[in-house]
Amino acid sequence: MPYITKDDIKDVVLRDHLKTATNETYYLEKGDSYLNDLATEKGAESVSEPLSYKVQELLICKICSLIANDRIGTKKGAASLREGAPAEDIYYTKWKHYTDCVSKLEQEVTKELIDGSTPVNYFGESFEHDRAW
């Protein structure tokens, strides 16, 4: 069972493509594979469920970047609401945004956030850090 569902994807344009894809679980399975590889890379023995907020956000951004990447070049349209702005490929714009988010979040996600081995507070710091004060 995937770590997230298609309902977790809140980007309407990308979610609609996910719902109409021939194999709607394809991107969710790619996301799971990515998260399992990341867990191994970070030294986590397993992925704890439910996912921590940052891990879930990372996984959603990764899946959105995969969908957008596959859709680049299929639809030209104004990616900006500014009047007179040049028409861009909306999927390229989304891919760029989500890829940047993935890069940032990959730096922030730790082994502990993935495997749940150390309780963390809202800011991603361990409770051990809080007790030091």
pLDDT profile of the chain (133 residues), mean per 10: 86 80 81 95 91 94 93 66 62 93 95 80 54 44
At residue 123, the pLDDT reads: 60
pLDDT of residue 78: 47
What is residue 132's predicted lDDT score, i.e. its pLDDT?
Answer: 44
User: Residue 117's pLDDT is what?
Assistant: 81
Task: Tell me what pLDDT residue 86 has.
Answer: 56
Q: Is 2 helix (H, G, I), strand (E, B) or coil?
A: coil
Q: Please name the residue ranges forming H helices in 9-126.
A: 12-20, 26-42, 53-71, 90-108, 111-115
pLDDT value of residue 133: 45
Predicted pLDDT at 97? 96
Residue 128 to residues 36, 82, 124, 132: CA-CA distances in angstroms? Answer: 26, 48, 12, 7
Amino acid residing at 109 = V
